Amino acid sequence: MRFSLSILARWLTITLCSGAAAQGGSFTPGAVWLDTDGHPINAHGGGLLQYEGVYYWYGEFKTGRTYLPDCNKSWGGTRVDTTGVACYASTNLADWKNDGIVLAATPQDPTGDLAPSQVLERPKVVYNAATKQFVMWMHIDSPSYGAARCGVATSDRPTGPFHYRGSFRPNAETWPVNATAADQQAAPTNYLARDFHTGQMARDMTVFVDDDAHAYLFYASEENPVMHVSLLTDDYLRPASQYARIFIGRSMEDPAVFKHGGKYYLIGSGCTAWAPNAARSAVADHPLGPWTELGNPCTGPDATNTFHAQSTFVLPRPGHPDEFIFMADRWQQWHLPDSRYLWLPLEFNSDGRPIVRWQEHWSQE
């Protein structure tokens, strides 16, 4: 009986919401959002790219059984087998056409980075105008999340297929720009020595492209308590050997970075696996920092757990010059494919802090 009721509830939700992510231009955070074929949009931990008047939404395509590998039992790290990265296209942020899997898992290569058993999370795509390449960065990991690597893929079209170029840990044998003399003296016993020859761990990540075309990779590192931000090479394919340790000891993940009024802003969360926690915001005069925390940007019911969600991206809000759209995932730990999306307007307070107000419905016009 419980089973059929839940199927009925799901059918009702889809039927009542059918047609588009935003019904009549009104977004309902946390509802099932449908693509233009009437199927639930499947692009988790995602990011958007605007290119030639079209928005492309890239994210983890999650399907199949959610399971808890033995190696993750202590912290509840459920997962589904990796399928690949999905891409959807839209001109109005409401109607999303499914462009399919643009980077596919490789069941035929069960030991490779893209094997279904491996982790592929938080893909972000940026466009390099100089090389005319679309560059995808993503978190690649072993099932236990112990590998903690960056993966890179490229395509000459936004809709792929993307060519996977491999994974690595960034910044081997490179001191961070903000390493203190004490840090360097403490080697070989400190954090740097541990990862100095193999590179720095990299988990939740995002890429931010500045107005001057410099790109920066932000990633949770050093087992997660420290975030790193790394300048990328001009082709956006490798770290450029200039990086900084930021939010030291703050265990921040899922970074979303944007620029407003000449300053850089970051929204992220604490590290509590799939469970939501309070979002955090921060500001800096340069992507490499120093960064100053500004507190939880969310306000309204359940603001202390980011409205049951976790940030993934922040997009400039079309038609609203000083506003952005805060994008987050409402994870379903035990049924990951049914995780939902939560987009909300982001404004700035009179004191210059970003603020995200809860709204049941809102219109993007």
113 binds ligand DGJ (CB under 6 A): no
Six-digit token pair at 152? 């890179």
Q: How far is the CB of 339 from ligand DGJ (least distance, A)?
A: 10
What is the rounded CA–CA span in Å between residue 88 and residue 191? Answer: 40
User: Residue 251, interface with ligand DGJ (CB under 6 A)?
Assistant: no
Output the DSSP codes for 18-52.
Answer: TT-SEETTEE-TTSPPB-TTSSBP--EEEEEEEET
When asked if residue 99 is in the footprint of ligand DGJ (CB under 6 A), the reply is no
Considering only residues 258 to 277 of the shown chain, the ones binding ligand DGJ according to CB under 6 A are 273-274
Q: How far is the CB of 243 from ligand DGJ (least distance, A)?
A: 21
- Rule CB under 6 A: say whether 121 interacts with ligand DGJ: yes
Q: Is 254 in the site for ligand DGJ (CB under 6 A)?
A: yes
DSSP string, 177-211: TT--HHHHHHTTSSHHHHHTTT-----SEEEEE-T
Number of residues interacting with ligand DGJ: please give it, by CB under 6 A.
10
118 contacts ligand DGJ (rule: CB under 6 A)? no
**Is residue 150 a contact point for ligand DGJ (CB under 6 A)?**
no
Within 285-314, the residues that bind ligand DGJ by CB under 6 A are 310
- Given 21, 93, 122, 314, the residue binding ligand DGJ (CB under 6 A): 122
CB hemisphere CA count around 330 (13 angstroms): 17
Is the separation of the CB atoms in 365 and 308 below 8 Å?
no
Q: How would you write 231-263 as a 3-class SS string?
A: EECCCCCCEEEEEEEECCCCCEEEEEEEEECCE
Under the binding rule (CB under 6 A), the answer on residue 77 touching ligand DGJ is yes
- Residue 45 engages ligand DGJ in binding (rule: CB under 6 A): yes
In whole angstroms, the minimum distance from the beta carbon of 310 to ligand DGJ comes to 6
Phi, psi of 71 (to 5 degrees): -65, -15
Which stretch of DSSP H or E encloses residue 132?
none
Member of 20, 236, 253, 342 binding ligand DGJ (CB under 6 A): 253
Binding interface with ligand DGJ (CB under 6 A) = 45, 77, 121-122, 204, 253-254, 273-274, 310
